[in-house]
């Protein structure tokens, strides 16, 4: 099929009460407009033309990674005016599909079906019936149920306002015919706009058949005008994604308390507890379990890893059978080998943790390379920053660092070394030996604790 797609995205979206253009508001981690361009691209069109206006350049920048044509509509004089702006580059023989940048959940299959019959003698219109059709354009049909025209809410008679079949705004027509109809549009209506919807009556006049299609669900054609509608679509989308992932075998304790803002791939028998937020690209191996209330962004987590409650993990890799949390934070470039343990209130940044090593309590490990089978005692801090520069700490295999130690980088702890508890290590320590910095313990006999007077 020779298809070109036009996406209308010039509207201001005043009801969002936001500086951000409406089509850049985020749904499941992506701008609304990206959902629409993705649906468009799934049809393999010749081109996708986005009509932009409000927020201009920021809209273009946000979608810079996609192959799109951009047309500016400086003044928003109506949907017909907007489509007309997008037409010059489109070939006469193409079918043209019109989408709205603020209707994000439209399905590729619905669009595919609509585009199929389009020719110079057939056009397609996506309509649906609503309990409360107020505000929408209504589909006026004749006694034989043939579509005659669309009337906008503000132009509708009492009788027309009773019609519950509404225009979703999405339509497809032959480019040459559409070009002709657009040139004929007038703005002598209640809103003084060039209505795209007026082309229907012109098509009927030209004996072009109007085929109507219905979306599979109402959410598919719901637009975002305010933040409440955005939140409603977000919930709907999240639940449908959760259900899709469960069909693919993902274990979710509660699909209503799971948020995916990116791409998740997972092995068998993965179970995710409530209130997980998954962002970016996340890979979970076989048998991974995620405890309640974790945020996981751009991580690669191998087989058998257990992430306990309340962890925040970002740009990290975790080797198999490791145990993380509760309350652990892995920051970018945390690379954990297999069988590692990272416990509560531990922060790891830009560090390699070797196989079987443990950092179980209250520690900061940054810019560090830790070997295998190392034990980092509670409250250990790698002092990686001197106020101007970052320095590395290197810890060999089988090292034991006693609790409450500071390792002042740059510093190297030799393999098999032991650091006595409470030490501040500023120089390299030899392998296999005990190093400690500690003042002698004093006993003050007969000392009395102060007491409050009665």
Which residues have a catalytic role annotated?
A: 361
Q: Which of 375, 369, 427, 428 is nearest to 401 (CA)?
A: 375
81 binds, among ligand UD1, Ca ion, none (CB under 5 to 8 A by kind): ligand UD1
SS3 of residue 418 by DSSP? strand
190 is in an annotated binding site: no
Calculate the dihedral angle through the C-alpha atoms of 345, 351, 352, 353, rounding to the nearest 10 degrees.
-20
340 binds, among Ca ion, ligand UD1, none (CB under 5 to 8 A by kind): none
In the complex, the smallest distance separating the C-beta of residue 211 from ligand UD1, rounded to whole angstroms, is: 17
100 is in an annotated binding site: yes
Dihedral (CA of 139, 47, 24, 264) sign: positive
In the complex, the smallest distance separating the C-beta of residue 229 from ligand UD1, rounded to whole angstroms, is: 11
Positions in 201-230 near Ca ion (CB under 5 A): 223
Half-sphere exposure of 333 (CA within 13 A, CB side): 8
CA separation for the pair 110, 350 (Å, rounded): 46
In the complex, the smallest distance separating the C-beta of residue 304 from Ca ion, rounded to whole angstroms, is: 50
73 is in an annotated binding site: yes
4 binds, among ligand UD1, Ca ion, none (CB under 5 to 8 A by kind): none
Query: Residue for token digits 């929408």?
Result: 136
In the complex, the smallest distance separating the C-beta of residue 166 from ligand UD1, rounded to whole angstroms, is: 5
Q: 10 Å Cβ neighbour count for 51?
A: 25
178 Cβ contact partners less than 8 Å away, ≥ 6 residues apart: 83, 87, 96, 199
Q: Which is nearer to ligand UD1, 8 or 425 (CB)?
A: 8
364 is in an annotated binding site: yes
22 is in an annotated binding site: yes
Point out which residues bind ligand UD1 (CB under 6 A). 8-11, 51, 73, 76-79, 81-82, 100-102, 136-137, 150, 152, 166-169, 195-197, 223
305-313 long-range Cβ contacts below 8 angstroms, 24+ apart: 309/273
Q: Which is nearer to Ca ion, 219 or 398 (CB)?
A: 219
Q: Which is nearer to ligand UD1, 34 or 297 (CB)?
A: 34
In the complex, the smallest distance separating the C-beta of residue 73 from ligand UD1, rounded to whole angstroms, is: 5
CA separation for the pair 60, 156 (Å, rounded): 36
In the complex, the smallest distance separating the C-beta of residue 173 from ligand UD1, rounded to whole angstroms, is: 14
77 binds, among Ca ion, ligand UD1, none (CB under 5 to 8 A by kind): ligand UD1
27 Cβ contact partners less than 8 Å away, ≥ 6 residues apart: 35, 104, 224, 230, 233, 234, 237
Q: Which is nearer to ligand UD1, 162 or 268 (CB)?
A: 162
Q: State both tokens at 46.
A: 């010749």
Q: Which of 136, 103, 105, 111 is nearest to 23 (CA)?
A: 103
CA separation for the pair 173, 208 (Å, rounded): 10
416 is in an annotated binding site: no
Q: 10 Å Cβ neighbour count for 78?
A: 21
79 is in an annotated binding site: yes
Q: Which is nearer to Ca ion, 205 or 227 (CB)?
A: 227
136 binds, among ligand UD1, Ca ion, none (CB under 5 to 8 A by kind): ligand UD1
Q: State both tokens at 10.
A: 């010039």
285 is in an annotated binding site: no
Calculate the dihedral angle through the C-alpha atoms of 326, 327, 331, 333, rounding to the nearest 10 degrees.
-20
Q: State both tokens at 74.
A: 């400086």
380 binds, among ligand UD1, Ca ion, none (CB under 5 to 8 A by kind): none
Q: State both tokens at 454.
A: 């009665």
Q: Which is nearer to ligand UD1, 156 or 342 (CB)?
A: 156
Residues forming contacts to Ca ion in the complex (CB under 5 A) are 223
Which residues are annotated binding-site positions for acetyl-CoA? 378, 384-385, 403, 421, 438
Which residues are annotated binding-site positions? 8-11, 22, 73, 78-79, 100-102, 137, 152, 167, 225, 331, 349, 364, 375, 378, 384-385, 403, 421, 438
């Amino acid at each position: 099929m020779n298809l070109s797609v036009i996406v209308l995205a010039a509207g201001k979206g005043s009801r969002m009460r936001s500086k951000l253009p409406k089509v850049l508001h985020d749904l499941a981690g992506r701008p609304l407009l990206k959902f629409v361009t993705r649906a468009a691209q799934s049809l393999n069109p010749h081109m996708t033309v986005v009509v932009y206006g409000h927020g201009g350049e920021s809209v273009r920048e946000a979608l810079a990674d996609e192959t799109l044509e951009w047309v500016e509509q400086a003044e928003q004089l109506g949907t017909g005016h907007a489509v007309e702006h997008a037409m010059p580059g489109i070939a006469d023989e193409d079918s043209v599909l019109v989408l709205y940048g603020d209707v994000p959940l439209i399905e590729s299959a619905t669009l595919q079906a609509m585009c199929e019959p389009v020719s110079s003698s057939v056009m397609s219109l996506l309509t649906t019936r609503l309990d409360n059709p107020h505000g929408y354009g209504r589909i006026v049909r004749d006694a034989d149920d043939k579509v005659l025209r669309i009337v906008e809410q503000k132009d509708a008679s009492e009788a027309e306002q009773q019609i519950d079949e509404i225009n979703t705004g999405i339509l497809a027509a032959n480019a040459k015919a559409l070009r002709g109809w657009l040139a004929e549009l007038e703005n002598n209506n209640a809103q003084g706009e060039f209505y795209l919807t007026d082309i229907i009556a012109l098509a009927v006049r030209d004996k072009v058949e109007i085929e109507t299609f219905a979306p599979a669900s109402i959410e598919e054609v719901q637009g975002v005008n305010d933040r409440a509608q955005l939140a409603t679509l977000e919930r709907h989308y999240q639940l449908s994604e959760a259900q899709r992932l469960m069909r693919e075998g993902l274990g979710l304790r509660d699909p209503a308390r799971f948020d995916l803002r990116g791409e998740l791939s997972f092995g068998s028998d993965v179970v995710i507890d409530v209130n997980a937020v998954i962002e970016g690209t996340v890979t979970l191996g076989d048998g991974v379990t995620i405890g309640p209330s974790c945020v996981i962004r751009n991580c690669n987590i191998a087989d058998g890893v257990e992430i306990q409650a309340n962890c925040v993990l970002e740009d990290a890799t975790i080797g198999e059978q490791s145990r993380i949390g509760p309350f652990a934070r892995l920051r970018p470039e945390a690379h954990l080998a297999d069988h590692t343990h990272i416990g509560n209130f531990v922060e790891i940044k830009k560090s390699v943790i070797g196989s079987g090593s443990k950092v179980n309590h209250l520690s900061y490990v940054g810019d560090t390379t830790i070997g295998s089978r190392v034990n980092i005692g509670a409250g250990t801090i790698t002092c990686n920053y001197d106020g101007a520069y970052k320095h590395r700490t290197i810890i060999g295999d089988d090292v034991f660092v006693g609790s409450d130690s500071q390792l002042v980088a740059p510093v190297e702890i030799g393999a098999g070394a032991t650091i006595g508890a409470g030490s501040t290590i500023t120089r390299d320590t030899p392998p296999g030996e005990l190093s400690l910095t500690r003042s002698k313990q004093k006993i003050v006999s007969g000392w009395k604790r102060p007491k409050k007077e009665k």
